[in-house]
Structure 1
Amino acid sequence: MCLSSRQAIPFITIFFSKKTAAAKQLLAEGKTVTETCYLSGFNDYNNFIRTFKKITGTSPGQYQKSFFNEADASLKSFFVCMNSDGFT
């Protein structure tokens, strides 16, 4: 990653953004919030919750719930479409 001096981003912002991206992936895979906390490199559960919410705008639990609700809706619409096309 190349950053010019005019676009300097604090290292800590990049650091926590990468950890949060890893956490989002783990939550999408179905890991618990506690497992995600430690597997994504956070050593403190409360700090993880606070940081995740600050970066994403939602708590890890809410993120995971909305992720699976969207996935369920996509699957349901896929099967409805398949059934309406005569694929049963």
Structure 2
Amino acid sequence: MAACACKQRGGPLGDGNVKVRRETGGRGGKTVTTVRGLPLDEAALQLLAKQLKAACGSGGTCKEGVVEVQGDHVQRVMAWLTQQGFKPKRAGG
């Protein structure tokens, strides 16, 4: 019997609509820049997050398909993603 295709890992986590936004909620007032919707698998997303954090010169994390970069780096992140061939959109206010 074949395994269920919906439970297999390894496919892209995002839908391709790359959204970049600045968030402070639930972080004790600290600002982070989040990137959602990247059409990459987990390993590629981890690598991209590492490169993005280095480009911004700050820390961050990657969990559940969302890249978080500490600080307000929306413009820098959008420019870097555009240079890498993605088409990011600014989300939020």
The two structures have a TM-score, normalised by structure 2, of 0.24
Larger % of helix: which? 1
Q: TM-score, normalised by structure 1?
A: 0.25
Query: Which of structures 1 and 2 has the larger relative contact order (alpha carbons within 8 angstroms, sep 6+)?
Result: 2
Q: Which has the larger radius of gyration?
A: 1
Judging by fraction of residues, say which structure has more strand: 2
